[in-house]
Structure formats: structure tokens, C-alpha cells
């Protein structure tokens, strides 16, 4: 979330952190499908092939390349057991190939992921060797590209066959059946994915089940840093800090070894839970310092300065004019800049207009035209008529909320049956904005005034717009991550 630290705090890690290999896109996805977690230095996962939970730790490397809608991701693992009672090692190489199918008419993409041939895995636990003899795998996702966040979910299925102590008298076949899926999102401010994988393990004399729930998240947040020098041209400024965290929870039901027989007990079960977590070193980026002359001590000063530091508000003078009306054009551009840099400047939608006007009162030569085109193509905004956008018209609070909720893709969150919001002036909310206002209140984008009135038809000031946009960013940065990771893995 957005937070401001006070004088005296010193960040000693600036400079070091940007050199540690953070992904430029900030995408997040747990490695492989084994419930493991990693940071820049270490990978760990829990292995159950022997019938007991044994944690392995070591090095994981990942390679990725994309060409013509096909993404190939390769993993290589070199791990050792960290259990002093069960010495062992693990070596694994796997490559997954994902093919995208674009549906621009639906604003969606589907993907299909298969395992490439050439996979290899060898595990040794307490002198017993397990070799992967066969691995079948299939996964498919659907991605909604219309909102400013790409939301996705998918399902997977697979089967792994291991041969234990191949060629020896105690040779044994162990089958691991996989099922489950993933959910996630990706936007300019970060990304998160949670995987839920169910394993059914069947050996000759025992069986067990494991449910691994793993999340990977990359988030950016703004932190205010006071200037520690007294004689300076500015008091302080914002930095954008990128954080990454991976967490996993294994819930297992495995056999208990019977000392009398030396094998698994038919009556007793080892039921338990193991949690793993790894944090990556943060990355830091200092932002430009705002110097508005008319926002000092203004109630919206903090929100205005945040947005200016992020280049969301790009005023060219020292005057912001917080108390005048926000217009339709400036607000739409700010929303698109706030949420994502993934505009359609070079996409098929841009090419399709061939230099023609999106609306007669907008110019393709305008520096921000690409943001308007993106917003219109995604259905986030529409014109006052089919041919006119009316860019300089003032924006009402109901119109602003409708734009933000469509940008988030949450317009379907309102009840399907008749309902009212909790605002005292609910009856004055236009019918076309009712669902958006309800959803915005539910996710915390808006709150009522002191008299619990939303005032939907009041013109929004530039100060009001800045505060609402700052809350919009907070939701993208914090609340989405909580919903897609913490609420799934860390409950």
C-alpha cells in the first residue's frame, strides 16, 4: 500500500538492489508444478516419494523464450535433502511449451501447455533411487485481456511414473497422479499467481495424498522518503519499491512406518502440514519530485504528489488547480497511465484505424491519443455520441467511478437481483452507474461523505479525481495481491 516514512529513516540498500536480476515485467509464476518456492539464491520443495515428507533445497535455474505466440520455459534443479535422518539428492530437467490463441473479438486469450520430450528426473533418498520413467502433462488457461489487469485461470492434469531401485530385487513402480489449477493476474503494478496441485501417490504397499498450494507475487508500492539534508530545494520524494514473495503450503496424508514389519502401517497415518516461504530482495526506483505551488497543505496534496511522481499527472506548470473540474479526457488518460503502460500503440487495433479519428473531436497527433484508443478499444470509455467524445466536458462522480470499475473489470460484481447501495442518496445514482458504484464501494474505492452521501451527479474536482485515482492504484497494488495469494495460501 502507499505509505510515507518520516525523517530519520535511511534506506541503505539503494543501488545494490537493482543489480540482483529482477524481471523487468514483474511477472510472477511458481516454478514447475511441485509446490516449491525460491528467491534469488535458493529453491526448496518437499518430496513425498518415499512415503515421508522430506524437504530438499538447492539451486534452480529457469530459462524462457517466446516466438510467434509460443513460449518455452525450461527448469533445471540440483537439490539435496536438508533432513539429517534422510540423506538424499535430486536432479531434474523439464521443459514446458505454451501456445497462445488470441481472440481479439472476445478480448481474451487461451493457452495450452504441454511437456516437451527430454524430461529427466532422478531422486535418491536414504540410498534408494527413484527414476522418472514417464511423465504426461496438460494444462490450459483462459486470460481476459480487456481490463487493465490480465486476469486468468486454468486447469491441469498429469501423471508421473517412477521406478524405485530399478533392476534390483526390491524394484517398485510408484505412480503420482496430478490435478489442479491456477489463478492469477498481471498488470503494470505487479502480478500474482496461485497454484493448487493435488497429488495421489500409489506405491505397491502404500498410498498417500498431498495438496500443495503455492503463490508467487510481485508488487510495487510507493514509499515517501524525507530528504535528510536541511538545506535543499525539496523536502523529500517518492520511491517505487518492487517486492517479491513466494509461499507454499503442503497438506499431506501419508503412511506411518511400522517398526515391527519395517513397512507402512495399515491403521496409522501421518497427517500434517508444511509451510515454506521465500522473499526476494527488493528493487528501488526513485521518482521525480513534484513542485506544485497551489497544493501545499491541501487535503489532496499527498494523492496529487504521488500521481505526479508517477507521471500519471503531467502538468507542465507549477499550478495544478485542484479545485476546478476534472474533464473527461484528462481523467481517462490518467486512468490508463495509472494502471498500465500496455497501450495499443503498435497493436492490431491501432493499425485498424489507419490514421482515422477514433472520435471527431480527438486528434491522432495528440501525444496521449494511444491511451484514448486503448481505453475505447477495451470498452473502458465510450463517447457521448458515436462520433464525439467531448474531451473537455466536466466529469461527474458517477462517470468517474464507472470508468474505474470497467478498467478493473469488476462491473459484474454487483448483485444480479434488485438491490440498493448503502448511500443515503442511492435514488439519485443513475441506473447506468448503479452496478459500478456498488462494486466500487465493496472494494473500497469510494466512501460516502460525512453524511453518507455519494453525490453521484456532482462534478468531480481535480483534487477529488487525484484521491480516487490514488485509491484505484492502492487496490491494484495491494488488494488484488491479497485476494490472489494471501487469501488462498496463508489463511
Taking only the tens place, the pLDDT of each residue in 40-54 is 999 999 999 999 999
Residues 6+ apart with CB under 8 A from 374: 336, 342, 343, 344, 349
The pTM of the full predicted model, rounded to 2 decimals, is 0.81
Taking only the tens place, the pLDDT of each residue in 119-162 is 999 999 999 999 999 999 999 999 998 888 889 999 999 999 99
Taking only the tens place, the pLDDT of each residue in 379-437 is 899 999 988 999 999 999 999 999 999 999 898 888 888 899 999 999 999 999 999 99
Contact (Cβ atoms closer than 8 angstroms) between residue 38 and residue 200: no
- 408 CB burial (10 A radius; 0-12, 13-18, 19+): buried
Provide the sign of the torsion angle of the four alpha carbons 416, 422, 423, 425, taken in this order.
positive
Q: What is the mean pLDDT of residues 199-213?
A: 95
Contact (Cβ atoms closer than 8 angstroms) between residue 136 and residue 113: no
Taking the C-alpha atoms of residue 440 and residue 418, their distance in angstroms, rounded to an integer, is: 17
pLDDT for the residue numbered 27: 53
Please tell me the least confidently modeled range out of 155-169, 224-238, 343-357, 450-464: 343-357
Contact (Cβ atoms closer than 8 angstroms) between residue 134 and residue 158: no
pLDDT for the residue numbered 473: 85
Task: Report residue 80: phi and psi, to 5°.
Answer: -130, 155
For every residue of 292-340, DSSP letters joined together read -SS-TT-TTHHHHHHHHHTTSS--SSS---TTSBPBHHHHHHHHHHHH-
Taking only the tens place, the pLDDT of each residue in 344-361 is 433 434 433 434 468 899
As a whole number of Å, the end-to-end CA separation of the chain is 20
Residue 368 binned pLDDT confidence (cut-offs 50, 70, 90): confident
Of residues 20 and 102, the one with the higher pLDDT is: 102
Taking only the tens place, the pLDDT of each residue in 26-45 is 456 888 999 999 999 999 99
Task: Report residue 465: phi and psi, to 5°.
Answer: -65, -40
Provide the sign of the torsion angle of the four alpha carbons 309, 311, 313, 314, taken in this order.
positive
Q: Give me the chain's average pLDDT, please.
A: 85
Please tell me the least confidently modeled range out of 31-45, 101-115, 225-239: 225-239
Closest CA to 474 of 404, 427, 424, 423: 404
Amino acid at each position: 500500500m502507499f505509505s510515507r516514512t518520516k525523517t530519520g529513516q535511511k534506506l541503505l540498500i539503494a543501488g545494490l538492489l537493482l543489480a540482483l536480476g529482477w524481471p523487468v515485467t514483474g511477472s510472477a509464476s511458481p516454478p514447475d508444478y511441485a509446490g516449491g518456492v525460491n528467491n534469488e539464491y535458493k529453491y526448496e520443495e518437499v518430496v513425498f516419494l518415499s512415503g515421508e515428507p522430506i524437504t530438499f533445497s538447492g539451486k534452480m535455474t529457469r530459462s524462457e523464450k517466446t516466438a510467434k505466440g509460443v513460449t518455452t520455459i525450461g527448469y533445471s534443479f540440483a537439490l539435496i535433502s536438508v533432513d539429517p535422518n534422510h540423506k538424499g539428492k535430486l536432479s531434474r530437467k523439464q521443459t514446458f511449451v505454451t501456445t497462445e490463441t488470441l481472440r481479439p473479438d472476445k478480448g481474451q486469450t487461451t493457452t495450452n501447455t504441454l511437456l516437451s520430450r527430454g524430461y529427466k528426473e532422478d531422486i535418491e533418498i536414504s540410498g534408494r533411487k527413484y527414476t522418472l520413467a514417464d511423465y504426461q502433462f496438460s494444462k490450459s488457461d483462459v486470460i481476459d485481456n480487456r481490463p487493465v489487469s490480465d486476469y486468468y485461470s486454468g486447469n491441469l492434469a498429469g501423471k508421473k511414473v517412477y521406478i524405485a531401485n530399478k533392476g534390483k530385487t526390491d524394484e517398485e513402480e510408484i505412480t503420482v497422479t496430478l490435478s489442479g489449477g491456477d489463478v492469477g493476474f498481471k498488470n503494470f503494478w505487479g502480478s500474482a499467481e496461485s497454484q493448487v496441485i493435488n497429488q495421489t501417490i500409489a506405491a505397491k504397499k502404500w498410498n498417500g495424498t498431498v495438496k500443495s498450494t503455492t503463490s508467487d507475487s510481485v508488487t510495487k508500492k510507493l514509499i515517501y522518503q524525507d530528504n535528510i539534508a536541511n538545506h535543499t530545494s525539496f523536502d523529500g520524494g517518492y520511491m517505487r519499491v518492487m517486492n517479491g514473495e513466494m509461499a507454499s503450503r503442503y497438506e499431506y496424508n501419508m503412511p506411518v512406518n511400522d517398526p515391527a514389519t519395517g513397512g507402512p502401517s495399515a491403521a496409522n497415518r501421518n497427517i500434517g502440514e508444511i509451510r515454506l516461504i521465500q522473499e526476494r530482495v527488493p528493487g528501488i526506483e526513485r521518482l521525480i519530485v513534484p513542485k506544485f505551488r497551489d497544493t501545499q497543505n491541501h487535503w489532496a496534496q499527498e494523492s496529487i504528489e504521488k500521481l505526479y511522481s508517477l507521471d500519471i499527472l503531467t502538468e507542465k506548470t507549477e499550478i495544478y488547480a485542484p479545485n476546478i473540474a476534472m474533464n473527461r479526457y484528462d481523467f481517462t488518460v490518467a486512468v490508463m497511465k495509472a494502471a498500465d503502460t500496455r497501450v495499443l500503440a503498435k497493436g492490431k487495433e491501432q493499425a485498424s484505424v489507419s490514421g482515422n479519428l477514433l472520435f471527431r473531436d480527438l486528434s491522432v497527433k495528440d501525444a496521449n491519443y494511444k491511451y484514448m484508443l486503448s481505453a475505447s478499444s477495451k470498452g473502458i470509455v465510450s463517447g457521448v455520441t458515436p462520433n464525439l467524445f467531448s474531451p473537455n466536458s466536466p466529469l461527474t462522480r458517477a462517470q468517474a467511478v464507472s470508468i474505474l470499475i470497467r478498467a478493473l473489470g469488476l462491473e459484474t460484481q454487483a448483485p444480479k437481483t434488485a438491490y440498493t447501495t448503502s448511500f443515503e442518496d442511492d435514488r439519485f445514482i443513475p441506473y447506468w452507474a448503479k452496478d459500478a458504484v456498488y462494486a466500487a464501494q465493496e472494494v473500497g474505492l469510494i466512501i460516502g461523505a460525512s453524511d453518507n452521501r455519494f453525490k453521484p451527479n456532482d462534478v468531480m474536482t481535480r483534487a477529488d479525481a487525484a484521491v480516487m485515482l490514488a485509491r484505484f492504484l492502492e487496490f491494484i497494488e495491494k488488494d488484488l495481491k491479497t485476494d490472489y495469494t494471501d487469501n488462498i495460501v496463508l489463511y
